[in-house]
A and B are shown apart, each in its own frame.
Chain A
């Protein structure tokens, strides 16, 4: 049913597409560090050559009972439930920033366990529910 012309076009497209997909895959693989928006505390602890000069982003959960506010200065711990990093920040935080919730901090590492942030973003998860349901779930 398929003519020779059609067959050759299919072969051409399949070849072209597989080459393109392979190229895209290799580009993304080599750029992985640039595409990820933030690192987890575990990734930071495993990373051998960390730059202490570059601005980076770390993300995870704000550890329960770790939030301390003194005026405008805020200290808290970002955890991925395996490793932790203490974060120091001065400024305003988003409304959704709170203990137990997702957070992303942008700034510089002082050492592997201490991070000076100059920007705080709240990360929302994929769960949506009414307040009554969330209350019922907690109880």
Chain B
């Protein structure tokens, strides 16, 4: 499994797999949207604004997941100096960045009709904004620091520091009193979302994960090709 992500394999990756994933994604997202927008019931208090959750929650999951990968890759990169890990992390960053932004924007759109306010500086919302800033910092370092070694060290440092922010985001709603509600889906107890609403949430999550994988594979391939060309030019 791991060997499939080695540079040689990725570069020889043809568009067939990506096209296949694309069709799969469109199918899953369409199914998810049908459930989310039409088949699932409105909430007993929030009414139809509950439907924002079907985009908000998967986006937050993916944003956290992508940064967890970047953080772990950064640690392994610092310790073992594996060449392709920073390239993988670099290719994943824009996906996570966009999803953290989507999470914040959709959360805001939901907050106005539900809480009565677009934005508050409570622990959950603030730590999520910090995650978005970490993403931006990570991306900008790769973009504007021209020296590869320097960019690699700096971005790894950002990845590792940002990793510490993830448990803060996850547990902010339990450690401090926040306006944001606690998690509905936990590992230890049954979800507090009715199954008619949980189903579209899971389908949407799958669809968005497939989307992330597609964008990641395309970017990773492009980044590896860029590195090869640079290497050739240097000779």
| Residues of B34-68 contacting chain A, CB below 8 A | 41-46, 50, 53
Q: Size class of B's contact patch?
A: 35 or more
- A121-B117, A128-B53 given as contacts; is B123 within 8 A of A96 (CB)? no
Closest to B79 in A: A9
Contact residues in B for A131 (Cβ distance below 8 Å): 41-44
| Residues of B181-210 contacting chain A, CB below 8 A | 181-184, 192-194, 196-197
Contact residues in B for A38 (Cβ distance below 8 Å): 177, 179
Partner of A129 from the list B122, B161, B177, B197 (CB cut-off 8 Å) is B197
What does the 1/0 interface line of A74-92 toward B look like (CB < 8 Å)?
0000000000000000000
What does the 1/0 interface line of A35-58 toward B look like (CB < 8 Å)?
111111000000000000000000
Residue pairs across A and B with CB atoms within 8 Å: the count is: 107
Whether B192 lies near A126 (C-beta < 8 A) is yes
Interface check B115, CB cutoff 8 A = yes
Whether A37 lies near B161 (C-beta < 8 A) is no
Contact residues in A for B45 (Cβ distance below 8 Å): 96, 101, 124
Report 23 cross-chain contacts, Cβ distance below 8 Å, ordered by A residue: A6-B79, A9-B78, A9-B79, A10-B79, A20-B161, A37-B121, A37-B123, A37-B177, A38-B179, A94-B115, A96-B114, A101-B45, A104-B179, A120-B116, A121-B115, A122-B114, A123-B179, A123-B181, A124-B181, A128-B53, A128-B194, A129-B44, A130-B196
Interface residues of A (CB under 8 A from B): 6, 9-10, 13, 17, 20-21, 24, 32, 35-40, 59, 93-97, 101, 104, 120-135
Interface residues of B (CB under 8 A from A): 41-46, 50, 53, 75, 78-80, 113-117, 120-123, 160-161, 164, 168, 176-179, 181-184, 192-194, 196-197
